[in-house]
Structure 1
Amino acid sequence: MGDEKTPIEPPPSYDDASPAPSQSGGVGARQGPPRPPVLLDLPALNMIRGKRIILASSSPRRRQLLAQIGLTDLEIVPSTVPENQDKSLGPFEYVLATADQKARNVYSATIDSPKGEPALVIAADTVVSTHMGQILEKPRNEREHIAMLKMLRDQDNGWHKVYSAVVCMAPLESAVDPGYAVETHVEETAVKFDTSVTDELIVSYVRTREGADKAGGYGIQGLGSILVEKIEGTFDNVVGLPLRATLQLIEKVIIDPDVPAEVTDAAQNSAGIQTLLDAEREAQKIVQRAREYRTKRVKDARSEAQKEIEEYRKQKDDEFKAFEKEHSSGNKAAEEQAEKDTQKQLEEIKAIGKKTGPTVVEDLIRAVLTVRPEVPNRMEGSETTA
């Protein structure tokens, strides 16, 4: 996650008794070209200086961090294997497995190169994890990027963790299997986002695209620092490479590998030591099988849960269909019975009409045509009075 700032010129020597005047008369200006930075004088770095050193990563931030300890002439050979480790692994196991895969892929691809066997291969991987253990890598699009940063701000009061794994491989002088030494390290840093960061600021930061190529979607060494309130652990680990731990791995794998020359020489003549080495490899296999078994159990549990959900859903669907069929059949029978009753009543009305219709018509005609004049009561009274 970032570029480390370096001074434009190295600091003045302790031997400078007084600052030299500048050409313009100022104080502190240096005469002549700037001196090159002084390299760390360490046995491990001296042993590999000028030799083929490969960084199995295209990250400019890791390259800049390694330059701080004097590893400037690096050969960049990114790993070609897909980073598709099982997400059911914990973040510690996941990041270590990914970095180890990168290192072994690049080492095997470059060991027979015309340039010669590499003196050192360095690989690293970084992931961000929520407090629930969800692994966050690089965002795939702007929407996912915004959602990722909002989640880091809102969950667990802004706290999350950054894991960086480093793997160093170097060839052994002896021919004892596997022919190389490997050292690994995983570092953890807790990072707290400022919970008062607004959605507007997050969207604005995402659109700078600074965090688009970074695990977790932000770069603490750059503009992304405006999102961060504080950290607990090493800063360069959040950037992408814990430098102190990396230097320790280099010293271990170059000067004091797990299988030093004197031990390998004795191992060729000692069945006891060979047995111990075999036992160690067998123990590693057992651990690997245990990890695979645990992963399988997690997958099986998920599959069983999904199966139970599907069975329950099917059961409820069947019950609903049966209920629907039962009640829809009853409604249909009722409709048919009502239709029959209606038709019956209509037939009865028609029969009555046929039977009494003519008589009713005759009565109506007779009532209309028969005239019976009657004197109103009021008129009768008037005549009597007169």
Structure 2
Amino acid sequence: MTESFGEFQTEALILASQSPVRASLLRDAGLKISTTAASIDERAVEDAMGSDVNGEDLAQVLAEAKAGDVSSRFADTLIIGADQTLTCEGQTLHKASDDEDLRKKLLWLSGRTHTLHAAIAVVRNGETIWRHTEQAHMRMRKLSPEFVGRYMAETLPESLSSVGGYQLEGLGSQLFEKIEGDYFTILGLPLLPLLAWLRAEDVLMS
């Protein structure tokens, strides 16, 4: 099914990521893409921005940094970069480093509302030609330590790969009582704005 839409795409696209979720979202939408991992130190970029950087700006800078790094290797090619950050009560959280770190993070997020900032950038020849960010607000229900233990037993190690410790398309949906935001944004890629921009630029036929 995906391949049948290739005729509607007029230009090669590279996703500056090895994220299987982001690649799947793009391919399922009918885009023919290749993937190449960016080589950047995300924490170094964050440190350089200072302690008062907000989650939205950080996600955007990281998305552009990833696309820019890959763009340096592929001339005259549209490179898509994406990043997602999580903020809660003034703190920016990162992916858990190990099982115990994940347990502490989930128990801290329990009963709180956190915000996911999903950013996307398109770069060609080192120049950012389009950027976009969206937010989703995620209210976790109150989680017991026993539930968190069972959840981790079912979802590790995959839950370590997500900034929030969950995949909403799987058991992660059981963590929440309320969600405000676009599904694709929660998965880390504002897909609909990207598709609209690609159509406006005649990369996709409208």
TM-score, scaled to structure 2: 0.86
1:134-190 per-residue CA deviation (whole Å, 9 max, x = no partner) reads 111211011110111111114xxx21111110001236xxxxxx7x55100111000
- 1:103-142 matches, within 5 Å, as 103-111=67-75, 117-118=76-77, 120-130=78-88, 132-142=89-99
CA RMSD of aligned residues (A): 2.1
- Where does residue 159 of structure 1 map in the other structure? 113
Give yes or no for the alignment of 1:90 onto 2:45.
no
**Superposition map of 1:157-306 within 5 A:** 158-170=112-124, 180=127, 182-195=129-142, 197-207=143-153, 208-209=155-156, 210-252=158-200, 254-255=201-202
Q: Greater share of strand residues, 1 or 2?
A: 2
Tell me the equivalent position of 1:75. 34
Q: 3-state DSSP class of the match of 1:126?
A: strand
Distance 1:81 1:100 in 2: 11
Q: CA deviation at 1:240?
A: 1.2
Q: Tell me by how many angstroms 1:40 deviates.
A: 8.8
1:159 maps to a residue whose letter is: T
| Aligned-partner Cα distance in 2 for 1:83–1:227 | 27
CA contact (8 A) 2:15 2:80 kept: yes
Larger Rg: 1
Q: Tell me the secondary structure at the aligned position of residue 9 of structure 2.
A: helix
From 21, 30, 34, the counterpart of 1:61: 21
Structure 2 gaps, min length 5: none
* 1:47 maps to amino acid: T
- % same residue: 28
Partners of 1:57 and 1:133 in 2: how far apart? 28
TM-score by length of 1: 0.47
* 1:46 corresponds to: 9
Tell me which protein shows more helix as a share of its residues.
1
